[in-house]
């Protein structure tokens, strides 16, 4: 007689977190992490051991405005139980918030199925008593145009070895950057960057090197040579982690994680069919 096989269902979680006080997303023995905290509370709530797989690592002190993770659970239909999210948020510390839980196909993977990720890095050029953990306070004069010149140069390259943390176990250092730009704010500047994938420490290393361009320490030609060197020691120091936010993660449209885009795609499909 065949042994009974327990059926498990795959779910995605959409969450956000304040990385202050956490040593990043990924579990590390003896230190607080987002992954460990979330797994512990979910296991208690669901009354079964729950392993949560994130869409990627974030460094110690880095924040996420929009983050996705997946887990498998023997309980069906929990995405429709509003009490689950309410209770989980009550159990979690103030720095972690759950927004949604989605039922997903069994092969949907939070990390490997992601098609794009976006980050912001915030620099404040005034003293902000409320932003100490959410921006880098820098009072030096910066050449905004030079920094944006460098930001555009990045989009012409695909090997980012020069901005990868030394000793990282990357299978490849190739990334496709689809957006890279600085914008001015009332109190400073923000760097926006999107790519299909990122290396460990990559955004902070790029932001640090572009900031040195803004200070006049590096020319556009020297910046290109840094990228082409593939040597982390040639690039500038990484900027502090508190100013960095993961802001978005994209998945294939059929995942249904963006209902508005799904509806627009369905409307376009319907119009095409009607014309034919």
Contact 97, 82 (CB under 8 A): no
CB 66 within 8 A of CB 14: yes
Contact by Cβ (8 Å): 74, 112: no
What HEC string does 215-238 produce? CCCCCHHHHHHHHHHCCHHHCCCC
Contact in structure between 177 and 155 (CB atoms under 8 Å): yes
Which ranges of 114-243 does DSSP label H, i.e. alpha helix? 144-154, 202-214, 220-229
Give first-to-last CA distance, the chain, whole Å: 55
Dist CA 264 CA 179 (whole Å) = 23
- What Cα–Cα distance (Å) separates residue 219 from each residue in 150, 203, 222, 238? 9, 19, 5, 18
Active site residue 59: yes
The alpha carbon dihedral of 201, 206, 211, 217 has a sign of positive
Could you give the C-alpha distances from 227 to 4, 147, 205, 260, in angstroms and in order? 55, 15, 11, 38
In angstroms, rounded to a whole number, what is the distance separating the alpha carbons of residues 228 and 116?
24
**Catalytic member of 59, 72, 169, 248:** 59
Q: Which two tokens stand for residue 24?
A: 């990043």
How open is the CA angle 34-38-44, to the nearest 5 degrees? 155
For the annotated catalytic residues, the residue numbers are 59
């Amino acid at each position: 007689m065949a042994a009974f096989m327990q059926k498990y269902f795959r779910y995605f979680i959409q969450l956000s977190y304040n990385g202050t006080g956490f040593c990043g997303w990924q579990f590390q023995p003896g230190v607080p992490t987002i992954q460990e905290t979330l797994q512990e509370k979910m296991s208690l709530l669901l009354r079964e051991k729950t392993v949560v797989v994130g869409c990627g690592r974030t460094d110690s002190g880095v924040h996420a405005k929009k983050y996705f993770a997946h887990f498998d659970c023997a309980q069906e239909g929990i995405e429709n139980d509003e009490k689950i999210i309410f209770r989980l948020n009550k159990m979690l510390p103030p720095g972690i918030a759950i927004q949604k839980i989605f039922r997903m196909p069994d092969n949907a993977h939070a990390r490997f199925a992601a098609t794009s990720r976006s980050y912001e890095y915030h620099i404040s050029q005034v003293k902000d008593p409320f932003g100490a953990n959410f921006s880098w306070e820098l009072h030096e004069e910066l050449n905004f145009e030079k920094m944006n010149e460098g930001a555009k140069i990045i989009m012409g390259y695909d090997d980012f070895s020069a901005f990868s943390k030394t000793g990282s176990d990357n299978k490849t250092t190739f990334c496709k950057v689809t957006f890279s730009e600085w914008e001015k704010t009332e109190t400073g500047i923000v760097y926006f960057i999107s790519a299909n994938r990122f290396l460990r420490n990559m955004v902070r290393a790029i932001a640090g090197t572009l900031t040195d361009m803004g200070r006049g320490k590096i020319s556009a030609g020297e910046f290109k040579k840094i990228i082409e060197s593939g040597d982390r020691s040639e690039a500038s120091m990484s900027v502090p982690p508190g100013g960095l936010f993961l802001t978005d993660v994209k998945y294939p449209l059929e995942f249904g994680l963006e209902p508005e885009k799904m509806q627009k795609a369905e409307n376009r499909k319907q119009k095409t069919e009607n014309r034919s």
